[in-house]
Amino acid sequence: MLIISTMKVTKLLHTRMRVSDMEQTIQFYTDVLGLEVLERKVSPRGSHLAFLKVPNSEELIELTSFPPSGPVTVQEDLVHLAFQVESLDDTIASLNAQGVKITDGPTQSSSGSRFIFIDAPDGYEIELIERPPGRAIV
């Protein structure tokens, strides 16, 4: 029997990512990418949580660290976060000045977007994209 649901989600609120070292990861996201920590707390089961705000976005990134579960191992090419940047050239210069290695790119897509990849702590990939004016998708 097929049941058709009329329920529809209305908004993406946050994405949770488990990390090995909360302080190192927060430092990466705040110092390298310019995100803001909105809240930090400990859950009832003992997980350390941090909610990060991305400029010009309502969605949050929730970082969680639960040391009893051991270190995080992120499989290659499993998941990544993509952020838009105003100027890829300026972004590359800033990353180079901070000693952050570019792991792939720069690459130009058929739509005219340009992008690079860098690695966050634990091996999460970060894609940084410069879109041409008026383009909504890579």
76 has catalytic annotation: no
The domain locations on the chain are 14-69, 73-138
10-residue stretch averages of pLDDT, the chain, 138 residues long: 75 92 96 96 93 94 91 83 94 95 94 94 93 71
Please tell me the pTM assigned to this model.
Answer: 0.85
pLDDT, one tens digit per residue, over 24-59 is 999 999 999 999 999 999 999 889 999 999 999 999
Positive or negative torsion for Cα 40, 65, 28, 57? negative
Among residues 62, 76, 127, 130, the one annotated as catalytic is: 127
8 A C-beta contact, residue 129 and residue 113? yes
Indicate the class that CATH gives domain 14-69. Answer: alpha beta
Per-residue confidence (pLDDT) for residue 103, from 0 to 100: 96
Report phi then psi at 58, rounded to 5. Answer: -90, -25
In CATH, what is the architecture of 73-138? Roll (3.10)
